């Protein structure tokens, strides 16, 4: 650290001492300043990126942990490159998965068509061998028509599922954006309280009740998700069970 930086810290310490801060309180404030300004913005950014990468590696070690892996990946990419990069990354990823799924369906469809053509050729040979058997001919024709209808229905189902997946992805992106805006506003109120409110002016950070309320406020967006899930589960449980004949099991 250079002399200017040391002199600035000394001035801060002197000012705090004039305001009536104890030596322990002054030391805490100095340590916090050193932790923040002892490393420039790029240094702090690289430290955060390292933490996010370590968390992502940690999450990948667990089995059946796809949800947490996605969250860790999102935090890393958003912090490192921005939300727009993450959106483009997810679009490319979803597009790749969608193409893989589509190609898989096409391969299955080709295999199905190949089997269908093989059976159709077999039926034609049977008809040629048994021209005089009208019953057999009619049966084979009916089977052919049935298979063609099944193939047509299968293709329609694939197209419908593809459109449904596309719209669901759009809706999900929209809901995530709304959720992020709400969370931003929610925590912005807390920042405004810290900056403009009596938290530092009246030293409310020494009041354990105030600290507890702030912690509850911070955790509320995460707890409310589980609360909503609980209400939904309770509603479904009551709807399934209310109205049942209790004498059925007697």
Query: Are 114 and 203 found together in one domain?
Result: no
Query: Are 94 and 163 found together in one domain?
Result: yes
Decide if 14 is inside a domain.
Answer: no
| Residue-wise pLDDT tens digits, 82-141 | 888 888 888 888 888 888 888 888 888 888 888 877 877 777 776 667 676 777 778 878
Decide if 69 is inside a domain.
Answer: no
Question: What is the total count of domains within the chain?
Answer: 2
Query: Are 236 and 163 found together in one domain?
Result: no
Helix (H, G, I), strand (E, B) or coil at 61: coil
Decide if 6 is inside a domain.
Answer: no
Res 186 pLDDT > 50:
yes
Query: Are 132 and 157 found together in one domain?
Result: yes
In this prediction, residue 28 has a pLDDT band, given cuts at 50, 70 and 90, of: confident
Q: How far is CA 223 from CA 55, 84, 127, 214, 231, in A?
A: 22, 28, 69, 14, 13
Helix (H, G, I), strand (E, B) or coil at 64: coil
Q: Which domain holds residue 109?
A: 82-196
Residues whose CB is less than 8 angstroms from the CB of residue 204 and which lie 6 or more positions away in sequence, other chains included: 198, 210
Query: Are 178 and 220 found together in one domain?
Result: no
Alpha helix (H) residue ranges in the chain = 3-18, 23-37, 41-60, 66-81, 83-129, 134-196, 198-201, 208-241
Res 157 pLDDT > 70:
yes
């Amino acid at each position: 650290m250079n002399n200017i930086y040391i002199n600035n810290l000394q001035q801060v310490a002197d000012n705090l001492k004039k305001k009536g801060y104890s030596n322990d309180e002054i030391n805490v404030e100095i340590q916090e300043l050193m932790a923040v300004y002892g490393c420039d913005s790029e240094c702090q950014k690289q430290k955060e990126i390292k933490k996010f990468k370590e968390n992502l590696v940690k999450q990948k070690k667990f089995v059946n942990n796809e949800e947490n892996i996605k969250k860790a990946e999102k935090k890393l990419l958003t912090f490192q490159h921005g939300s727009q990069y993450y959106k483009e990354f997810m679009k490319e990823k979803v597009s790749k998965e969608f193409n893989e799924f589509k190609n898989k369906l096409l391969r299955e469809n080709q295999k199905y068509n190949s089997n269908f053509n093989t059976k159709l050729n077999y039926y034609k040979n049977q008809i040629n061998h048994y021209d005089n058997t009208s019953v057999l001919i009619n049966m084979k024709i009916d089977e052919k028509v049935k298979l063609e209808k099944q193939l047509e229905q299968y293709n329609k189902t694939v197209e419908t599922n593809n459109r449904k997946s596309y719209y669901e992805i759009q809706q999900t992106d929209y809901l995530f954006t709304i959720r992020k805006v709400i969370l931003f506003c929610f925590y912005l109120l807390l920042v405004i309280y810290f900056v403009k409110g009596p938290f530092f002016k009246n030293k409310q950070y020494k009041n354990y009740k105030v600290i507890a309320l702030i912690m509850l406020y911070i955790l509320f967006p995460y707890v409310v998700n589980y609360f909503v899930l609980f209400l939904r589960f309770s509603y479904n449980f009551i709807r399934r069970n209310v109205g049942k004949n209790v004498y059925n099991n007697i």
